[in-house]
Each structure stands twice: as C-alpha cells, then as structure tokens.
Amino acid sequence: MSTSPEFVAYLCEQLEGTGEVRSRKMFGEYMVYLNDRPVLLVCDDTPFVKMLPCVEGLLGDRPSAAPYEGAKPHYVLDPDDGETLRRAAELVSPNSQPPRKRRKQT
C-alpha cells in the first residue's frame, strides 16, 4: 500500500502556520518539508519522524517503527494530532539537513 496524495495534503494542512510547507513524492511515498528541510516521512498513510535528540522529550513515549524495510526506527505520529505534528516539525526542522542541490551533468 502506498500513501495517497490526499493524505499528504491533509498532513500539510495540519502544519499550516509553522512556515513554508511542501511535499515531494519519493519512491512511491512522500517527504514533507518545512522551510525546505525534511521533517516528516510519510509511508503507507503514516507520518514518521526521525528519532533525533531534539524530539525525544516530546515523542519519547510514542511507538516507533521502521517506515520501510531496512530503515532505522522512527517515531510514529498520530496524523490527527495537529499540535504534536506542528511541534515535532518545528523541532526537527533546524536539526535537519536541507536537500543537496544536484549538479547538472554535462
């Protein structure tokens, strides 16, 4: 099962007011960005946040799971808990690396 574009749009709506929010389809699933920094991985209609020290206080008691086979565990978020989604995205954003710009091959 893959993630529906409508579900990703719903998550992006939940993050309104935190900054510039966008999503990008990647390998059949999605990455959600806040201010051009990756904050949420969405797989099988489930939002995941990387297990970083900056969100441990907020999400430490949440369940964790691998978003896809071979991945490290991530915190699993409730998509309907907008307050926690926003807070987690705000905490992860400054601690996340912006995507690398691809060089054009000549």
Q: pLDDT-derived band of residue 2, with 50, 70 and 90 as boundaries?
A: confident
3-state secondary structure 23-87: EEEECCEEEEEECCEEEEEEECCEEEEECCHHHHHHHCCCCEECCCCCCCCEEECCCCCHHHHHH
pLDDT digits (tens, 9 = 90+) for 18-62: 999 999 998 889 999 999 999 999 999 999 999 999 999 999 899
CATH class of the domain whose range is 5-95: alpha beta
pLDDT tops 70 at residue 96: yes
pLDDT tops 80 at residue 100: no
pLDDT value for 67: 93
